[in-house]
Amino acid sequence: MSDLRTSLLALALWATALALVFLPAFAVPVSAGLIVVAVTIVVLRRRGGHGLIVLALLCCAAAGSAVAGAQPQRDLVGANDGHVVEVLADVTSSASIGTDGRLWFDAQTVEIGPPGRQQRVSAPVRVGIDPIEGADLGAQMRVTGQAKRTDAGERAALVVFGTHAEVARPASGIFAVAATTRADFIDRATRLPEPGAGLLPGLAVGDTRAVSADLNAAMLASGLSHLTAVSGANCMIVVAAVFWLVSLTGGGRGLRVVLSLVALSAFVVLVTPEPSVVRASVMAALAMLTVLLGRPSAGLAMLSLAVCGLLITDPWLAATPGFALSAAATAALLVLSRPLLRGLGRWMPTPLAVALSVPLAAQVVCGPIVALFSDQQSIVGVVANLLAAPAAPIATVIGLLACLSAPLPMLADLFAAAAWLPAAWIEMTATVTAALPGATVPVVAGPLAALIVGVLSAAVTVVLAGPPSPRLRYGSLLVVVVALALAAGRMLLTGPLAPMTAPGEWSIAACDVGQGDAVLVRSGERTALIDTGPDPAALQECLTTTAVSHIDLLVLTHFDLDHVGGTSAVFGRVGTVLHGPPAEAEDERLLRQLASDGARLVEGAVGVHGALGEAQWRVLWPEPDSAAFPAGNDASVVIEIGGGAVPRMLMLGDLSAAPQRRLLAGGRIAPGYAVVKVSHHGSRDQEPGLYEQARAPVAVIGVGEDNDYGHPTPATLQLLEATGSRVLRTDVNGLILLGERSDRIAVWTEKEEG
């Protein structure tokens, strides 16, 4: 079967599997209909030429049958939506630390249900627990927590937010050996200095638990995150090494293939079977089988067959971003790298063209896929990959050797130290390129963004590859020139010219940072920042627009991610940090980082006060050493500030109704506020009496578009309207600037209210 035919078969199967996993109710009738059509074609058209169509129909029917067969068990698991459940499940993936601090892994359910009343089922679940030792591939975990059913199309049928977890049965056999080997390597690698230490396990065996949140963001922004996802390159290295070693000992073709398959299987267990690893390993296995049969096949045909086999076995892979990116990147290297090499070779030296063609091919094909689910596109990805390319295979190979040589500690230490240098180079490349102006372009994730990025990617490919059609070349060049002009204009407006786009006479700025809070207050030459939002890039854009380069007072009301996630944007630029009570070790680490950069730490509590230029501020909440309201939302630092051309403002953090009532009863809320920052993004949990007492003409809500919490709630908006407040929301108004002008509040918003 030709490359083109197998590719068409794979695409047809992918589209069918994608549709069926999102519409599983149609799996049975669709499968039956496809089989009927296939049989009809065979019966009525006995001549050749229809084999591919029949095969495609049968493959699609097989994928539909897999969806239909799995759905009853998935429905049983999904019936636990919203309940507290106890789950006994076998771990089927590697574990990684999420942005919420939980340890997340995929598992296959064995038993699930209310505690003490479990039933036996078999369906995939996604589990998040507090970090625990022993959550390794092959282990069996018992987890108690809140269950939430996933949306149609997601590979896991249920997500369990664990409150208690224990290892019911540790990993055994080869899984135990792999877990011990990985753990020993991670421990050995993390003893090395930063940068590079935490990244090394990700490069060698795909374990990203030691990668910090800031480094992970930098890897994404620089387009280097694929280096910590084990891919076909890693599988190729393992297979090639075994082939070479066996051939040195005189082993025949059959022995080389068999031992390579064994080594590849062990490697998959070591790095855990993520979608990209499974795709790469199946493709490598098919390639070796063609060698064994003496009938080598083209790479695109092998890729297509691998994709087909995997989608029939597990149709939910069709909706997995990692699988899509892995297959698309491989196809790009097989199809586009040569045309791009020829095109680039006309303009530059051949070695440089070779180095650029590979990451560029992957970038133009993967860009539209990334735009479906990511809110940013990397602009520096090709350059970053070019810089990291020489170091990546060295870090991967030597790191893998360090992992496998664990029984010989001195040799393992030597290999780990040798792999550290290229890992450090890759980390520095990611950090530096991600910090460049215009390194990423924000997009609204979805089909429209994917279409736009796809058109641009196609235009760039045509311009560089240089097809014979002049009309196509000139049209593509026009698209590229227009895109570059728009990008340059945006860089100027968000960079050097950003302060010119906003009025300079502001004293309060509510930054648009998504679902989170970040409010700037300026008096004279002094500036305070209350919370930093969830995203450093979004905060930095606000600081650039408002021409703020130094923060004299940073207030971290509490340590939820939507209030402190962007703090890295101001590292080294803070004078004093006023903070709420830390609850986790991560909170303490953040404070130590700020202190090491020269900031003075002050814990916020009632009675703490100070000056910001000509303005005065004081803390109204929390009460010192309060056992009733522990660290978290209800212990948020509540601060009021006013004077020196700053309208008197009350900022309520994320206080719920109970501490709001306590605050009101304490007599600290006096009438006369001009602005109130509404608590907890406008959630329902508010004390009406507090807002009636404040009676602020302006109420500011920091909230993200399309958030899953329903913020701000209609009840809170009605409450604010009843107290006479004009509501300004960052999701609707964008950046909000307020200033004091004679006896009124001047308001400027980035977006007009629709």
What would the DSSP string read from start to end of 222-278? TT-GGGGS--HHHHHHHHHHHHHHHHHTT--HHHHHHHHHHHHHHHHHHH---HHHH
CATH no., domain 505-749: 3.60.15.10
Region 83-94: mean pLDDT is 86
Contact 170, 134 (CB under 8 A): yes
Q: Per residue in 588-621, pLDDT tens? A: 888 988 998 889 999 988 889 999 988 999 999 8
244/592: higher pLDDT: 592
| Bridging pattern class, strands 736-741 and 744-749 | antiparallel
How far is 83 from 253, CA to CA, in rounded Å?
A: 56
Across the range 377-383, mean pLDDT stands at: 76
- Decide: 654 and 635 in contact? Cβ < 8 Å: no
**How far is 140 from 716, CA to CA, in rounded Å?**
45
Q: Mean pLDDT, to the nearest integer, of 250-255? A: 77
pLDDT at 754: 46
H-helix or E-strand spanning residue 432 = helix 409-434
pLDDT at 645 over 50: yes
- Judge whether residue 404 has pLDDT over 90: no
Backbone angles phi, psi at 647, to 5 degrees: -55, 140
> For residues 666 and 738, what is the distance between their CA atoms, to the nearest angstrom?
29
pLDDT surpassing 70 at residue 496: no
Structure tokens at 581: 């009570």
Task: Please state whether beta strands 508-510 and 698-701 pair in parallel, antiparallel, or not at all (unpaired).
Answer: unpaired
Position 444 confidence tier, pLDDT thresholds 50, 70, 90: low
Given a cut of 50, whether residue 398 has pLDDT beyond it is yes
Residue 625 CA: distances (Å) to CA of 444, 580, 621, 622: 44, 12, 11, 9
690 and 712 Cβ atoms separated by less than 8 Å = no
pLDDT digits (tens, 9 = 90+) for 733-743: 888 999 887 67
Question: Can you list the alpha helix ranges (DSSP code H) found in 435-469?
Answer: 447-465
Average model confidence (pLDDT) across the chain: 82
pLDDT of residue 649: 93
Q: Are strands 140-149 and 84-91 parallel, antiparallel or unpaired?
A: antiparallel
What's the pLDDT tens digit per position in 134-164?
888 888 999 998 888 888 888 888 888 888 8
pLDDT for 650 beyond 90: yes
The domain 79-171 is placed in CATH, from the list 2.40.50.140, 2.40.110.10, 3.40.50.300, 1.10.3210.10, at 2.40.50.140
Domain assignments of the chain as residue spans, ordered by start = 3-75, 79-171, 186-335+381-441, 336-379+442-496, 505-749
What stretches of 652-703 adopt beta strand conformation (E)? 675-677, 698-701
Query: Residue 706: exposed, middle, or buried by beta-carbon count in 10 A (0-12, 13-18, 19+)?
Result: exposed
What are the φ and ψ backbone dihedral angles of 210, each rounded to 5 degrees? -95, 0
Q: Mean pLDDT across the stretch 343-348?
A: 80
